[in-house]
Structure formats: structure tokens, C-alpha cells
Amino acid sequence: IYVKNISMSYLSVNINDNCAKFGLSGALKRLGYSAKSDVIMCVGTDGVVGDSLAPMVGSLLKNAMPNAYIYGALDKPITALNVAPFYNKIKTLHPKSKILVIDAAVGSREDIGVVRVIDGAICPGLGVKKNLGLIGDIGIIGIVTKRSKLFMENLCSTRVGLVYSMASLISQSILMCLA
């Protein structure tokens, strides 16, 4: 995802903000997300550090919520190659559930480390010039690197520590929705 217009964001927080997880959790609750009944779809690959944000979130959540409906993790990622069939399968298996889609994004240098909650569908792949269509009912995107002509090099050289910090923040925020 490439983020250039924040008007679609419901909430934006920086990972260095001490209250970030409370803000993210509160935004998800206000949008009607329920960690007990809704579905989480984590889009990305473990083969590129910058794109591993969502699969990392999926793995963290699967360990914390083994009975939850979580699709996409480090061991079974949902990538550009299988996102459409997975999304259709999820909609068929869970027709009445909201689908929370999580993905990494590229943006401006100032936005690196920002996590955004989106009220509505997101379009994964745009940051790497792939249009995979709109998916989900609520989105969470984490801006992991800056947008440039060398987007793949930037995604490959993204710091693992940044991605892990963002994944921890997102997963903690979702877990707070259980309380």
C-alpha cells in the first residue's frame, strides 16, 4: 500500500507514542471490530523484511489467540499470489463477520513508524505497483519505509526491529479488544 492521502485514515499513531496501543484499540472498537467474532487477514510475505509486518502480526496473534479466525502468518503467508482466493474463501466461511485486513505500507520519510486504522477496505500491493483490489471492512496499515523508485530495495533493507515493534503494537491493540 502506498499512503499519500491521510483523509481515508480513521486514526494514525506513531509507534513511539506511549498511548498508541490504546488509541488503536479504541479506534477498532469504535469501528465495531470484535476480536471474539471477527476475522483477521494478514497480507504480506516473510521473504521481504518490510513486507513481513502483517504475517508477523498474524503469528503473534495466533500464539495469543489460538481459537481466533486469523489468516496469514509467517508460516503460511497470504501474498499477492494468493490474496484474492484467500479473501473469497474467508468471505464464504465467515459471511457475517467483519474482516480486518493488516498490511505493510510505504509512505513519506516522516511517516515511517506510523500505524493507521482505515474505516473501510484497503488495496494491498499498491506500494509495489500491484493492484490486488480492495479487500476487508477495516484496515490497519503500518508504514515501514519511504516510497521511492527503489521500493524493493527499501522494503528489503527495512529494519527488522522496526517491523517487530510495529507488529507488537498492532497485535497488543487487537488483544486489548478482547477486554
Task: Read off the C-alpha cell for 15.
Answer: 509507534
As a whole number of angstroms, the distance between CA 158 and CA 105 comes to 12
pLDDT at site 124: 84
Spatial contact of 111 and 127, defined as CB atoms under 8 Å apart:
no
113-129 residue pLDDT tens? 999 999 999 988 766 66
Q: What are phi and psi of 5, to 5 degrees?
A: -125, 110
pLDDT digits (tens, 9 = 90+) for 157-169: 678 889 999 999 9
Report the C-alpha gap between 164 and 139 in whole angstroms: 19
| Segment 43-84, tens digit of pLDDT | 998 888 878 999 999 999 999 999 999 999 999 999 988 999
- Burial grade of 17 (CB within 10 A; 0-12, 13-18, 19 or more): middle
Position 54: which residue type? A
Query: How is residue 47 annotated by DSSP?
Result: T
**Total-model pTM:** 0.90
